[in-house]
Amino acid sequence: MRIKNLCAATCLLCFVFFSQKVRAQGLGIFDDQTDVGTIKHPGSAQYDAKTQQYQLSGSGQNIWATHDDFHFVWKRMKGDFILRTNAAFIGKGVELHRKVGLMVRSALDSNSTHINAVVHGDGLTSLQYRKTVGGITEEKKMGITAADVIQLERKGNTYTMSVARKGDLFVTQEVSDLNLGDDVYVGIFICAHNADVTENATFSNVRIVVPAPATLVPYKQYLGSSIELLNLETQNSTIIYQAPRSLQAPNWMKDGKSLIYNSEGLLYKYNLKTNQSVVLNTAPAKNNNNDHVLSFDGKMLAISSGDGGPSIGYTVPVTGGEAKRVSAVGVGASYMHGWSPDGKYIVFCGERNKEFDVYRIPSGGGPEERLTTSPGLDDGPEYTPDGKYIYFNSVRSGLMQVWRMKADGSEQTQITNDDYNNWFPHISPDGKWIVYITFYKNEVAPGDHPFYKHVFLRVMPIGGGPSKVVAYLYGGQGTINTPSWSPDSKHIAFVSNSNLLFPIFPVGK
């Protein structure tokens, strides 16, 4: 179940941009690059617009004590933000304490106040900061070493470093009351820890996120959206499309050439080659939410639309056309989630008598059948490609967790069991993997999945085994509500969010 009425949404932005394909210019999302301090061998940065990765080369004696020498690729920013990257040295290197990471700096002077989230050549991972101009650098070491994923977040004068080895969940460290001024330089850096040496590193998944302000009114005001494609082999994600409005729930079409997403009550087909979107006709359904799912043969859509009342389930040809109602009349809201492989049934989350359970209904319409009866929210049902099982998420054990049952509703079994809230399990087309979205329990109530939170996308083998994080992002509602695997099971499409009042990627007018 999700947001029912995006048509009436008032955009948070003070001016209007129109969507377009992301274009890289020069240094991508950054303004400029600088050698800070005394540098014997000038540094450089190269940006690959196709992969959206950066390669940095840099020298410099150190980032420590009373002054710093390093190469810095930066953007001027104000207010709160979240910086994130995957960073990796290229080659064995020379010094154990060569450094890569994220930095926030008051000025480009060598002795400036600053804070940096850094990984050293020997694996030491720490949060380092200078409180006064020319003061001594202080350090807080992390509980893990050799982090691959680095995040640095500012809220006022509080800075939080979150780090992980690729595949793991974040661990954090914090510094409060660090006044760097509102207008700062933020970016990625490299330091050789040796004035005579040049080191090299690759930065991928580089993001500068402007999060929702405290004044944002949920479900009435919205941040901008980015559709991203994640390569599961490399775990590199590229932004392919941006808009200042809410884009949600991309479905990957069976031919692999297009995505379907919803925005402001409409469904759109996005061509991956031309980077153009066209509206799908779904009349009389005019207020579609992010519960839309493709049939296994790719010919039909099940959609959900709250046209002046509770959400109603419809089917419509994938090319668009007249929507046919399939959910029952006068019984409560229905949110469509999955087709049976043979196309005969649709499973959905139904609100009946103030309880939310999993139901199935003939795809041509007919009597609905209740499959779950536990008190509390059961949501997100989806068939496996062989039709034997239905995966769903349920709050019945306390936190929201992933569950599985047989197609007739029997043998309901909990699959995940951790200290997070896990939503929307989606099975890969080859039937081997499950992807789901994870919320922090201290940010989100078990029965809620709001916009604009710190979330993870995690993948686990369908036969059982540990989950691993494949994407670290700012999103939530609309990120991955629907199945978004590519047909070859090698990529996942998802939505991330950021305030685009200060566009990170160029957005056309």
What tokens were used for 226? 């980015």
Q: What pLDDT shows up at residue 508?
A: 37
In a domain, 160, yes or no: yes
Distance CA 77, CA 26 (A): 18
Task: Say whether both 198 and 344 belong to one domain.
Answer: no
The whole-number average pLDDT for the span 100-122 is: 98
Taking a C-beta distance cutoff of 8 angstroms, is the pair 108, 67 a contact?
Answer: no
Per the structure, the complete domain to which residue 112 belongs is given by 31-209
CA 124 to each of CA 193, 343, 414, 461: distance values in angstroms, whole numbers, following the listed order: 14, 53, 38, 31
Q: How many CB atoms lie within 10 A of CB 193?
A: 23
pLDDT at 506 over 70: no
Give me the percent of the chain exceeding a pLDDT of 70. 93
Query: Does 64 map to a domain?
Result: yes
Q: Is the pLDDT of residue 509 over 90?
A: no
CATH number at residue 80: 2.60.120.200
Q: Specify the number of domains making up the chain.
A: 2
Q: Are residues 203 and 293 in the same domain?
A: no
pLDDT average, residue stretch 399-417? 98
pLDDT bin (cut points 50, 70, 90) of residue 500 is confident
Does 297 reside within a domain? yes
- The token duo for 116 is 């940096």
183 & 229 share domain: no
Q: What is the DSSP letter of 3?
A: -
Q: Which residues contact 223 (CB under 8 A, 6 or more apart)?
A: 12, 210, 211, 212, 216, 246, 451, 452, 497, 498, 499, 500
Higher pLDDT, residue 464 or 251: 251
Q: Are residues 161 and 271 in the same domain?
A: no
Considering 209, 234, 259, which residue would you say is the last residue of a domain? Answer: 209
Of 11-15, 141-145, 249-253, 441-445, the least confident = 11-15
Contact 423, 437 (CB under 8 A): yes
Read off the pTM.
0.94
* Whether residue 301 is found in the same domain as residue 364: yes
203 shares its domain with 240: no
- Quick one: pLDDT at residue 505? 56
On whether residue 164 sits in a domain, the answer given is yes
What the block records as the tokens of 340 is: 């049976």
Report the length, in residues, of the chain. Answer: 509
Does one domain contain both 457 and 336? Answer: yes
pLDDT (0 to 100) of residue 503: 53
pLDDT in tens, 3-61: 433 333 333 333 233 333 333 348 999 999 999 999 999 999 999 999 999 999 999 99
**How confident is the model over 119-137, as a mean pLDDT?**
98
What is the pLDDT at residue 14?
Answer: 32
- 277 and 322, same structural domain? yes
Is residue 504 included in any domain, yes or no? no
Please tell me whether residues 48 and 179 are part of one structural domain: yes
CATH number of the domain residue 294 falls in: 2.120.10.30
pLDDT digits (tens, 9 = 90+) for 416-435: 999 999 999 999 999 999 99
> What confidence category does residue 307 fall into, taking pLDDT thresholds of 50, 70 and 90?
confident
Three-class HEC string of 374-430: CCCCEEEEEECCCCCEEEEEECCCCCCEEEEEECCCCCCEECCCCCEEEEEEEECCC
Examine the fold and report which residue of 157, 177, 209 is the final residue of a domain before the chain moves on: 209
* Position 8 in a domain: no
d(CA 209, CA 482): 24
198-212: per-residue pLDDT in tens?
999 999 999 999 999
Q: Of 209, 234, 268, at which residue does a domain stop?
A: 209
Q: What is the pLDDT of residue 9?
A: 37
Q: Give residue 502's pLDDT band: very low, low, confident or very high (50, 70, 90).
A: low
Q: Would 22 be classed as within a structural domain?
A: no
Whether 26 maps to a domain, the answer reads no
Whether 415 shows a pLDDT value over 90: the answer reads yes
Q: Are 123 and 146 in contact (CB under 8 A)?
A: yes
Same domain? For 391 and 417 the reply is yes
Q: Residues 366, 307: one domain?
A: yes
User: b or e along 300-333 (b: 16 or more beta carbons within 10 Å of the residue's beta carbon)?
Assistant: bbbbbbbbeebbbbbbbebebeebbebbbeeeeb
99 and 63 in contact (C-beta within 8 Å)?
yes
- Among 304-308, 394-398, 436-440, 500-504, name the one with the lowest average pLDDT: 500-504
Report residue 308's pLDDT band, with 50, 70 and 90 as the boundaries: confident
Average pLDDT, the chain: 93
Are 396 and 251 contained in the same domain?
yes
